[in-house]
Amino acid sequence: MKMISGGVCAAKGFKASGVHCGIRKNPHKNDLALIVSDVPCSAAAVYTTNLVKGAPIILDKMHLADGIAQAVICNSGKANTCNANGLEIAKGMAELAAKHLGIKTEDVLVASTGVIGEPLDLAPIEKGMPSLVAKLSDEDCLEACLGIMTTDTKPKEVAVEFKLGGKTCRLGGIAKGSGMIHPNMATMLVFLTTDAAISPAMIQKALSGDVQKTFNMISVDGDTSTNDTVVLMANGLAGNKEITEEGKDFTTFMKALNTVTVDLCMRIAADGEGATKLLECIVSGADTELAAKTAAKSVITSSLVKTAMFGEDANWGRVLCAIGYSGADVDVNKVSLEFKSIAGSVKLCENGAGVPFSEELAAKVLHENEIDIIISVGDGPFSATAWGCDLTYEYVKINGEYRT
C-alpha cells in the first residue's frame, strides 16, 4: 500500500470540479463542488447523530436506500438546515445535477455546509451547473476541495493505492471541517471514492465500522453539527472480484480505507478553527475498547486541556481530571502520562501521582505544533486514539463573528 496523489480523482472513473456560483459573497471562493463516477457505484454513508439534521441528509437517506449512487453535489456557505423548503431545495440540487450529467436523480447525493437557518436559493446553483460540469476533471480535485470549505484554512485530500486479487485499486478522499467538530460526527463533510469492487452491504459495513475509530474520535470544540456526512462510493472499475463477505480482500480494503480516514482525521483536527497545535491522545492498557475510547475522547474534548496546550503549560492534572469525569472504567491509581513531540518527551505522572519533571523540557515539548498525549491506564489489551487541537483566542473571534 502506498500514498498517491489525486484525492477523489485518484480512483479510475471518477471526476471532480468546483466553481463559485454566487452562494457566497466572496467571488474568489468556490461554493459549489461536484464528484461523479463514469458508472453507478455501490455506496454507503454515515451521518450526524444530532436530532437537528440538514435537509440533504434526509434526501440522501432516501436516495441511498438501494445502496447505489453515482454523484455528489455539495454547496458551501449555507447549510440548508432548519429551512421550511430545505428538502425541496435539496431535491432541486439533485435534479439539476442529474439533468446536466445525464444520470438518474435518485443516484445523486447532496451535501451542504455553512450557516444554519439561512435560506438557500437554487438560482445560483442552476446558473453555475454548466460551468461545474464543463470543468469536471479526473486529474485534479483541488477545485472541489475548495468548493466544500467554510472556515477551513487549507484543502484536505489524500489517496492510497493497494492490491486486491492481483488488481491495482485506488481509494481517495477529500474533507472539510474546522469548527463545530465533535465525536459522533461533526461539521465535517467527507467524500471517499474507490475503483475497487465491493457490494453495497459490505461497503456500508466497512464505512460504519471505520468511523467508530476515526471520525467519531475527533473533537475541536465539543459541538456536534447538523450536516455531518461521510460518503463512500465504489465503482468497481479496478476489475477485482467483488467483495461480498469478510475475508482477506475485505481486510485489505478496510486497511486502505482506514489509512485514508486517519489521514483526513488528522488534517481536520490540525485545521481546527484558530488552532495552532494538532493534539493526538493515545490511551493504552485499558480492559475494554470502550474504556480506552471514552478516556481518549474526554481528554481531547476538555477545554482546560486544550487551553493548557495553547499556553504550552504542562498542567497535567487537567488530563487526569478529564479521565476521571469521563465515565471510563479505569483505575486512576494506575494512570501514567507523558507529553511528546519532535522536541522530546516528558513524563509527568505515574500510577496516578505526579513525578518530578523539567519545566524547561516540558515547555520545549509543548512549543511544537504537533503534540502527543500518551496515557497508560493499566495493563489491559485495549487502546484508542483521538484527535483534536488547542483552544485559542482566535477560535472565539472566528465564532463570535461567524454569521456576520
Q: By the 8 A CB rule, do 11 and 195 touch?
A: yes
Lowest mean pLDDT, pick from 177-181, 232-236, 358-362: 177-181
Q: How many residues does the chain have?
A: 404
Residues 239, 335, single domain; the answer is no
- d(CA 302, CA 308) in angstroms, rounded, equals 10
Examine the fold and report which residue of 220, 244, 270 is the final residue of a domain before the chain moves on.
270
Do 320 and 222 have their domain in common? no
- Domain co-membership, 261 together with 308: no
Q: Is 194 a catalytic residue?
A: no
Cell 474534548 belongs to: 301
How much is the pTM?
0.90
3-state helix, strand, coil in the chain (%, to 5): 35, 30, 35
Q: Is there a single domain that holds both residue 295 and residue 260?
A: no
- Match 478522499 to its residue by C-alpha cell: 173
DSSP state of 103: S
Q: Is 83 helix (H, G, I), strand (E, B) or coil?
A: coil
pLDDT single digits (tens) 317-332: 999 999 999 999 999 9
pLDDT surpasses 50 at 186: no
Sign of CA dihedral 216, 217, 222, 228: negative
How far lies 60's CA from each of 3, 163, 309, in Å? 30, 31, 39
Q: Is the pLDDT of residue 91 over 90?
A: yes
In the block, residue with C-alpha cell 441511498: 64
Catalytic residue among 48, 113, 150, 187: 187
Number of domains comprising the chain? 2
Angle (CA) 346-350-351 rounded to 5° is 165
Domain boundary among 215, 236, 270: 270
- The pLDDT score that the predictor gives to residue 184 is 46
**Do both 321 and 378 map to the same domain?**
yes
**266 and 282 inside one domain:** no
Q: What is the mean pLDDT of residues 112-121?
A: 90
Do residue 102 and residue 202 come from a single domain? yes
Report helix, strand or coil for 64: coil
Write down which residue in 219, 246, 270 finishes a domain: 270
- Contact at 8 Å (CB) between 392 and 276? yes
Tell me what percent of the residues of the chain surpass a pLDDT of 70: 95
CATH code of the domain covering residue 148: 3.60.70.12
Catalogue the E-assigned strands of 141-239.
Answer: 156-164, 167-176, 189-194, 218-219, 229-234
Average pLDDT over residues 329-339: 97
The least confident of 56-60, 107-111, 179-183, 237-241 is 179-183
**What is the average pLDDT value for the chain, to the nearest integer?**
93
- According to the model, what pLDDT value does residue 228 have? 79
Instruction: Find the farthest-apart pair of alpha carbons in the chain and give their distance in angstroms, rounded.
Output: 68
Does one domain contain both 340 and 240?
no
39 and 175 housed in the same domain: yes
Residues 182 and 266 both lie in one domain:
yes
Q: Are strands 382-389 and 218-219 parallel, antiparallel or unpaired?
A: parallel
Domain that holds residue 379: 278-400
Same domain? For 305 and 194 the reply is no
Pairwise CA distance, residues 319 & 350, whole Å: 13
- Tens-digit pLDDT profile for residues 240-291: 999 999 999 999 999 999 999 999 999 998 988 889 999 999 999 999 999 9
Domain identity same for 311 and 166? no
What CATH code is carried by the domain that includes residue 354?
3.10.20.340
